[in-house]
Structure 1
């Protein structure tokens, strides 16, 4: 393989391993075995596991942000539901890594990994505002959405540990939380009122 291809292959291999085991417990030897290369070759491209974890997270984050973009031909609420289902599925596919990243005190939670998580949060916020047509949202609306994004992260983490309902049920419940939070925030924008009315005919 060319150097850039080998590097990409090691990152993809790391992601496959991280889907099975918490990244903080994975050793260079495990990556080497999974990639069918020597331990020395892993160190040639990544001098330590922290760098490999960081680059793997960066790639996974970019893939997630692309995956979350829903079809535009769906109603706004269905677009958000589609993105929620995809997010839950993505977190499920990397369950050990997702839980380790969000759990307080995790050895893999660093300033760099937090920056990548913030990139996802900002991307999700922009996506929601765009798809519900909120071009000049009030500070209260933005606060409600940020709080909801945080609630989604925590709810999905707990779901991965407990599995008390299906992924679809979880997505529907989270969508209901979003509607409730937007209602509580006042939702002065006409577009947001239309979104809430679509979910609740009594509004």
Structure 2
């Protein structure tokens, strides 16, 4: 009995290659992820791979974009929870993602810091998506969306990023301790913005 081989559409095949690229980033850095490596792992020729990605830079950016999109998707907040529980749950999903996809995530962060404009844009898109959810919930914290609140929230997000990246390799705190500290830090950071400046009414 013969088996008919299913021919995948170019878009479907490209999506599979991106999934494989993100998976491979779990064991190597972005710089180590070459067209040759992906072609070998995918069981296709190097030339065919260039049908989907024009060059190594385009391939890297597409893989990092996929990793960023995955992060945004898994951290969608549960709107049925109260603000702090919702924040803690989203943080837990974020920490889990970074813990299990440490290389792809650090590649995103390092790529953004390297001066590559497109990688920087992907990084900023991911950061904006994550902090944007907080801005949408400010009313539940009794806060208005002001420049001061946005400045401090973005500072908190940068602190969370650095703390989680530092935590993953050594984990001197438990995950629950880490989540508790990070969730409690946001209201503490934003508290001054709820008060009139200089005690004025």
TM-score (norm 2): 0.83
For 2:107 and 2:67, locate their aligned partners in 1 and report how far apart those are by CA, in whole Å: 15
CA 71–106 in structure 1, closer or farther in 2 if over 3 Å, else same: closer
For 1:45 and 1:168, locate their aligned partners in 2 and report how far apart those are by CA, in whole Å: 42
Structure 1 gaps, min length 5 = 190-203
For 1:18 and 1:104, locate their aligned partners in 2 and report how far apart those are by CA, in whole Å: 13
The within-5 A match list for 1:154-169 is: 154-169=162-177
The within-5 A match list for 1:61-76 is: 61-76=68-83
2:199 matched to which residue of 1?
none
- 1:92, 1:160 within 8 Å by CA — same for their partners in 2? yes
Structure 2 gaps, min length 5 = 1-7, 197-201
CA 105–77 in structure 1, closer or farther in 2 if over 3 Å, else same: closer
State the superposition RMSD in angstroms: 2.2
2:139 matched to which residue of 1?
133
For 1:32 and 1:65, locate their aligned partners in 2 and report how far apart those are by CA, in whole Å: 27
- 1:48 maps to which of 55, 58, 71: 55
SS at match of 2:51: helix
2:3 matched to which residue of 1?
none
For the pair 1:116 / 2:116, whether they are aligned, the reply is no
Aligned length: 187
The within-5 A match list for 1:1-203 is: 1-103=8-110, 110-133=116-139, 136-183=144-191, 185-188=192-195
SS at match of 1:24: coil
Q: Which has the larger radius of gyration?
A: 2
For 2:85 and 2:180, locate their aligned partners in 1 and report how far apart those are by CA, in whole Å: 10
